[in-house]
Amino acid sequence: MIRQFFDGSKKYFAVAVIASLAMTVLNSLTPQIFRFSIDSVLDGTKYGYLSDHLWILALLLVSVAALSGLSQFVCRSNTALAGETFAKNMRDMLFCHVQRIPMSWHDKNQTGDIIQRCTSDVEVIRNFVVTQLLEVFRTVFLIVIYFSMMVSMNVRLSLAVLPFVPIVIIYSSVFYRLIAKRFIVADEAEGELSTVVQENATGVRVVRAFGRERFEMDRFREKNGIFANLWIRLGTLSGLYWGVGDLITGLQVVTVIVLGTMEAVQGRITVGEFVAFASYNTTLVWPIRGLGRILSDMSKAGVSFERVDYIISAKEEAEIKTIDTMQRNEAGIKTQESMPEESQARAGQAKEPVKENGQVNISAAEGKERYDIAFNHVNFGYEDGNEVLKDIHFQIPQGCTFGILGGTGSGKSTIVQLLTRLYELKEGQGSIHIGGKDIRQIPLDKLRSEVGMVLQEPFLYSRTIQENIAAAKPGADMDAIREAAKIACIDDAIMGFPDGYGTLVGERGVTLSGGQRQRVAIARMLLQKAPVMVFDDSLSAVDSQTDTKIRKALEEYMKEATVILISHRITTLMGADRILVLNHGRIEEIGTHHELIKSGGLYQQIYEIQMSQDDRKKMEV
């Protein structure tokens, strides 16, 4: 999984590794220069010229240091380039992938946790790749080169030092496992804490409206306390690790000093060799010691890799099974024969659909786009196991205005979410057709560009009103934006703001009223000019007078469009060509307003409750 993020950064890593090797080799020369100076120059017996011109040795040391510094600069600059390129690739891929993951995945994952995976976990991985991974190469180079130098000077003393290396590595590995387990718990606690903050920030109006400040503060303190305690325990474990590690490395240094002194006294090692050997040993202590830190950080990076991979490995919507051949013999599913005669005639005239990568283009039928909609014995339930829709079967001819009425939880919104494939039907759950084509055969971008939706709780970006409306059609001119706003009956309100269409909307549109947010969302959808328009209880926050005004303004605009109106208001739906009444996920009745009023069913009961006697008389007139 990690290799896909290295595109564009491999050359930087290669240069950094080579520079790190050069730096290690150059640093290894300094103790040898000191050894040579002490044993062969300072006594003046062998190299009299050098003993009289010590500046040559000093210049050599400065040159080695300068070259080492240059190598370090090349190493670190290329490491930074490689690391940031790596992190940028990871962030880009994560963000783009999240855009294509099905809604069912988002339903199971908290927003705060997703944000934490895409930010904090990416930063942990970046830090490991930029700092720790290169440190591993440098440590390997140090051990090989420095230990070779030590063996060349004194084998016995080298063998005395050698056992400390595996001891430190084994000791670090044990703590690696302990720290990894605790870091997983602490990382998950951080995700929960981020979720609390995110929910509080986005739901600030609800918090204030219901006086939940004390509850939210107590909730945050509880999560924050758990988070802090976990990191305190993790810090205690890390402190124990470093303390014991310092003891081991201290024993290694003492061992070299004691045994090296004995070797020098007995004449088995020169003073210069002893100084060089001690220098190599001291230099080796910290990289080997740091190897434990690297392993510790590797545990964190490993956990973060797993958390990031959880997102990357989630199937995208395009990967979900797309049927290439209609399952027309599937038990209980009908298509042509269940459609109205007019729809059957249209479907019978349709040409063979053109397929693009195994998917059907809507516009292929009859040489032009068709937008007849048919739900064929659809059964659907979310992953919690509860069935939401049960044998839903209806048709909406193109150009028809179709109303859907039902109580909370009856499945109204689920119908339109299935229509746009926010959730996918599985085999045996029925089928949905547009223009005679199964929507699972239609490319998602094509399908969703042709079905405009206004949700009951519209989302607005923290940008200007103009930018929010133009989100449906980037680059739209101001005249088109204002035309859509006028139809949605929001233009006058916008022009009443000091900055007009340049008014900044707060996060999620909090600076606008509920009705204003809905009307801005309607304007955004109208600008899209989608041939299928879905209004999911999108006028619930406006008064009845404004509701009527908007519906009248929409009538002319939506003349050629296929419209689905979802509402709990009879007045919003009574002008629809057909009205479907849902009750606990089943179709209770379907017909025109007058047919349903005469039927004496659920629709008529709701009508009696919502409409006063005077209102009913006016409607009848």
Q: Which of 314, 336, 362 is the last residue of a domain?
A: 314
* Closest to 295 measured CA to CA, from 184, 171, 189: 171
What number is the average pLDDT over the span 450-460? Answer: 82
* Residue 319 located in a structural domain: no
What number is the average pLDDT over the span 390-405? Answer: 90
Distances from the Cα of 500 to the Cα of 300, 507, 511, angstroms: 50, 18, 14
Distance between CA atoms of residues 19 and 70, nearest Å: 9
Share of the chain above pLDDT 70, in %: 83
Residues 465 and 550 in one domain: yes
> Are 566 and 534 spatial neighbours (Cβ–Cβ below 8 Å)?
yes
pLDDT at 580: 92
Residue 131 is classified by DSSP as I
What are the backbone dihedrals phi and psi of residue 453, each rounded to the nearest 5 degrees, phi first? -130, 140
pLDDT at 432: 92
**CATH label of the domain that carries residue 89:** 1.20.1560.10
Q: What is the dihedral of CA 568, 507, 90, 83, to 10 degrees?
A: -170
Higher pLDDT, 130 or 219: 219
* Residue 324 located in a structural domain: no
Higher pLDDT, 510 or 557: 557
What number is the average pLDDT over the span 68-77? Answer: 91
What number is the average pLDDT over the span 572-585? Answer: 88
Distance between CA atoms of residues 555 and 215, nearest Å: 47
Owning domain of residue 447: 346-620
* Residue 410 located in a structural domain: yes
Asked whether residue 154 carries a pLDDT value surpassing 80, the answer given is yes
Q: How far is CA 572 from the centre of its chain?
A: 38
pLDDT digits (tens, 9 = 90+) for 227-275: 899 888 888 887 887 788 788 888 888 888 888 888 888 888 888 888 8
Residues 234 and 359 in one domain: no
Max avg pLDDT among 105-114, 448-457, 582-591: 582-591
What number is the average pLDDT over the span 97-102? Answer: 85
CA atoms within 13 A on the CB side of 23: 21
Distance between CA atoms of residues 574 and 619, nearest Å: 10
Asked whether residue 490 carries a pLDDT value surpassing 70, the answer given is yes
Share of the chain above pLDDT 90, in %: 6
Distance between CA atoms of residues 501 and 553, nearest Å: 21
* Residue 516 located in a structural domain: yes
pLDDT grade for 510, boundaries at 50, 70 and 90: low
pLDDT at 67: 93
* Residue 327 located in a structural domain: no
What number is the average pLDDT over the span 105-116? Answer: 81
* Closest to 94 measured CA to CA, from 300, 310, 302, 297: 310
Asked whether residue 48 carries a pLDDT value surpassing 70, the answer given is no
* Residue 362 located in a structural domain: yes
Q: Which of 274, 292, 314 is the last residue of a domain?
A: 314
* Closest to 119 measured CA to CA, from 46, 50, 7, 198: 198
* Residue matched to tokens 């930010």: 119
What number is the average pLDDT over the span 472-491? Answer: 87
Q: What is the DSSP string of 438-456?
A: EGGGS-HHHHHHHEEEE-S
* Closest to 277 measured CA to CA, from 164, 159, 163, 141: 159
Asked whether residue 468 carries a pLDDT value surpassing 50, the answer given is yes
Residues 295 and 389 in one domain: no
pLDDT at 341: 41
Helix axes 111-118, 164-202, angle to 10 degrees: 140
What number is the average pLDDT over the span 55-72? Answer: 89
Residues 178 and 263 in one domain: yes
HEC letters along 351-388:
CCCCEECCEECHHHHHHCCCCCEEEEEEEEECCCCCEE
What number is the average pLDDT over the span 308-326? Answer: 65
pLDDT at 292: 63
* Residue 542 located in a structural domain: yes
pLDDT at 27: 87
pLDDT grade for 70, boundaries at 50, 70 and 90: very high
Asked whether residue 576 carries a pLDDT value surpassing 60, the answer given is yes
Max avg pLDDT among 108-117, 217-226, 351-360: 217-226
What are the backbone dihedrals phi and psi of residue 590, each rounded to the nearest 5 degrees, phi first? -150, 140
What are the backbone dihedrals phi and psi of residue 407, each rounded to the nearest 5 degrees, phi first? -75, 175
pLDDT at 499: 87
pLDDT at 140: 84
Higher pLDDT, 21 or 332: 21
pLDDT grade for 135, boundaries at 50, 70 and 90: confident
**CATH label of the domain that carries residue 469:** 3.40.50.300
Higher pLDDT, 252 or 47: 252
Distance between CA atoms of residues 206 and 404, nearest Å: 29
Asked whether residue 73 carries a pLDDT value surpassing 90, the answer given is yes
pLDDT at 369: 59
Distance between CA atoms of residues 429 and 390, nearest Å: 9
Residues 435 and 505 in one domain: yes
pLDDT at 293: 66
Residues 6+ apart with CB under 8 A from 587: 391, 392, 393, 394, 580, 581
Residues 267 and 384 in one domain: no
pLDDT digits (tens, 9 = 90+) for 165-220: 788 777 777 776 777 778 778 878 887 888 888 778 777 777 777 778 888 888 88
What number is the average pLDDT over the span 119-123? Answer: 85
Distance between CA atoms of residues 135 and 111, nearest Å: 35
Query: Whole-model pTM?
Result: 0.63
Residues 257 and 357 in one domain: no
HEC letters along 87-108:
HHHHHHHHHHHHHCCCHHHHHH
**Token digits for 403?**
């109303």
Quote the number of domains for the chain.
2
Distance between CA atoms of residues 552 and 577, nearest Å: 15
Asked whether residue 417 carries a pLDDT value surpassing 80, the answer given is yes
Q: Chain-wide mean pLDDT for the chain? A: 79
pLDDT grade for 353, boundaries at 50, 70 and 90: very low
HEC letters along 9-68:
CHHHHHHHHHHHHHHHHHHHHHHHHHHHHHHHHCCCCCCHHHHHCCHHHHHHHHHHHHHH
* Residue 487 located in a structural domain: yes
Distance between CA atoms of residues 111 and 118, nearest Å: 11
Residue type, 279: S
Q: Which of 314, 335, 355 is the last residue of a domain?
A: 314
Residues 554 and 614 in one domain: yes
Residue 458 is classified by DSSP as -
Residues 375 and 310 in one domain: no
pLDDT grade for 612, boundaries at 50, 70 and 90: low
- Strand locations in 195-329 (E): none
Residues 301 and 396 in one domain: no
Residue 464 is classified by DSSP as B
Residues 546 and 487 in one domain: yes
Residue 330 is classified by DSSP as S
Asked whether residue 504 carries a pLDDT value surpassing 60, the answer given is yes
What number is the average pLDDT over the span 381-390? Answer: 79
Residues 430 and 301 in one domain: no
Helix axes 120-127, 164-202, angle to 10 degrees: 160
pLDDT grade for 323, boundaries at 50, 70 and 90: very low
Which residues are bridge partners to 405 per DSSP?
581
